Chains A and B, each alone.
Chain A
């Protein structure tokens, strides 16, 4: 690319051109030298280590002492039969669906509201954005107190006769028997979803606002001149144009929610009967508290596969879209 471009400057004499070409090659070599350390680091510490984790996941290393003898898929088979892991799969699914649905809808709605030439718009924006600057640990600690079953928000709710117990509730809504567990919506998960939504809505709001600002004003004007009501302009023109942003928001939120660990660890832990347990927490506890390294590695690989299902197509399509 760069080479072609210099050749277009045809006024250059042949010998200086040759010189420049040589210079460009040394510069290209230098460029390669500068990026090489990063390539090596990523190759080793991302891809190499994933491979190593995969190897551990197929070993018998379930004690303090490393044991790399081959176990095949034994650890995976164990996990899918495991009560706790089955609960984790249910919780991750429920958490991911609820979390993404609320973050997408709330972010989009708030962005449209804030785009109505609202007075004090930047103040509102900052109020919705600031939780993003906080750690999931801080969010977990604060919401643990706010949603404490015997206090906080519950004092209000109790006046209306609602006694939800939040994250200590072990009820499963719409439950039915599935494998070893009761499948359904654990009430306790809703408490964690509220905290996660509080923290991450600003993210989708920011993305939707950027998207709305990128839509040319003429487009809205044109629809209005055609006699469309404000509501119709949004439904027929604006919201369809925001669809690519929705895709991005869903994928980013999905990868956050599939690997969530710190928020739940700080706020509720695994919970009674594992109602708020997720693979991230299970992996941490079984590996670093229980020394079941091979089991922990298998959980990690399953988490990676879940994330890859969303991320790999997204990465490939966004790269293609660029070139």
Chain B
């Protein structure tokens, strides 16, 4: 007990110090983005801006808007399609198991751990062949395909918690595969869809390797454009930080409002669930 009362203040001290470390990049990012370029000097990095200057946001916004739009055109269909596929797969693999279905599930799961470098060269050849190279639909296709393992895993674990008895009674009433899915599973899957959609939205929005190799210039999603901002000769750090904040905003907003589901997805994605 005595130990506890001494250590509590120490505990708070450690937690607050670590919180400051975690928030430090955000502070510097916000402060830098609100300074005019001539105030963005190395020695003034930690100082608050003397005047609020939003011009770097204006610059970043004009430069990045087309790419932000590209990202939305990419993320929305890719998230919806992969969630739909995942729910069907999860339904089959949890409630309509067949011989070898567990092996197939494991073989599907392997697909979420591979380094995508190991499929990238054939994928680009393939996309060129079917005319989807350097297009947003091409990226949508890629994210739907490589989203199958994680979405299937999440829905399978989610559906495994729905008792089989509920399905049995519906089957006795004559409901088949599709009716059970439509009238029993889907209404119970809203949380599942929210978790999977948030997970896919965040991951696809943040993804870089496919984006930088499959698209060029005006087709590029936001993360590639953000990276390209620093490619110029003089790095305008204030614009760079404003751009980083803009690029991070959609996923941050989702996290702030639906963080609980984000963490659920994270835990569901660690296989054992």
Contacts and interface: CB of A to CB of B under 8 A. Distances in A.
Contacts of B11: 113, 116, 118
Interface in A46-66: 46-50, 52-53, 56
A293 to B, nearest CB: 6
Contacts of B267: 206-207, 210
Contacts of B117: 259, 261, 279-280, 283-284, 296, 299-300, 303-304
A223 interface: no
A177 to B, nearest CB: 30
A150 B45 CA distance: 11
A151 B42 contact: yes
Interface string B85-129: 100110111011110001011111111011111111111001000
B69 interface: no
A47 B176 CA distance: 33
Nearest to A47: B107
B108 A42 contact: yes
Contact of A135 (B12, B29, B241, B247): B247
Of the listed residues A56, A137, A148, A288, the one surrounded by the most CB atoms of chain B closer than 10 A to its CB is A137
Given A31-B96, A130-B255, A145-B240, A118 B226 contact: no
Contacts of A126: 259
Contacts of B121: 52-53, 56, 287, 293, 296-297, 300
Contact of A315 (B18, B45, B110, B247): B110
Given A2-B96, A145-B32, A41 B145 contact: yes
A314 to B, nearest CB: 7
A133 B118 contact: no
Interface stretch (B51-59, B132-140, B164-172, B184-192): B164-172
A113 B15 contact: yes
A135 B208 contact: yes
Contacts of A279: 117
Contacts of A49: 118-119, 122-123, 126
Interface in B17-62: 18-19, 21-25, 28-29, 32, 42-43, 45-46
A34 B247 contact: no
Contacts of B28: 142, 145-146, 152
B119 to A, nearest CB: 4
Contacts of A47: 107
Contacts of B97: 1-2
Interface residues of B, number: 96
Of the listed residues A38, A53, A124, A283, the one surrounded by the most CB atoms of chain B closer than 10 A to its CB is A38
Contacts of B272: 244, 248, 318, 321
A283 B116 CA distance: 11
Nearest to B44: A151
Contacts of A23: 176
B interface, over-half SS: helix
A183 interface: no
Nearest to A9: B172
A221 interface: no
Interface string A285-315: 0011000010011011101100100011011
Of the listed residues A134, A207, A258, the one surrounded by the most CB atoms of chain B closer than 10 A to its CB is A134
Interface size class of A (residues with CB under 8 A): 35 or more
B19 A127 contact: yes
Interface string B244-261: 100110011011100100
B159 interface: no
A319 B93 CA distance: 13
Nearest to B224: A137
Given A2-B95, A53-B122, A284-B117, 12 more contacts: A27-B96, A28-B96, A31-B92, A34-B89, A38-B89, A47-B107, A49-B119, A128-B18, A129-B255, A129-B262, A148-B42, A284-B209
Interface of B: 3-4, 8, 11-12, 14-15, 18-19, 21-25, 28-29, 32, 42-43, 45-46, 85, 88-89, 91-93, 95-98, 102, 104-111, 113-123, 126, 145-146, 148-149, 152, 164, 168, 171-172, 176-178, 202, 205-209, 212-213, 223, 226-227, 230, 237, 240-241, 243-244, 247-248, 251-252, 254-256, 259, 262-263, 266-267, 270-272
Interface of A: 1-2, 5-6, 9, 20, 23-24, 26-28, 30-32, 34-35, 37-39, 41-42, 45-50, 52-53, 56, 110, 113-114, 116, 118, 124, 126-139, 141-146, 148, 150-152, 155, 198, 203, 206-207, 210, 229-231, 244, 248, 252, 255, 258-259, 261-262, 265-266, 279-280, 283-284, 287-288, 293, 296-297, 299-301, 303-304, 307, 311-312, 314-316, 318-319, 321, 323
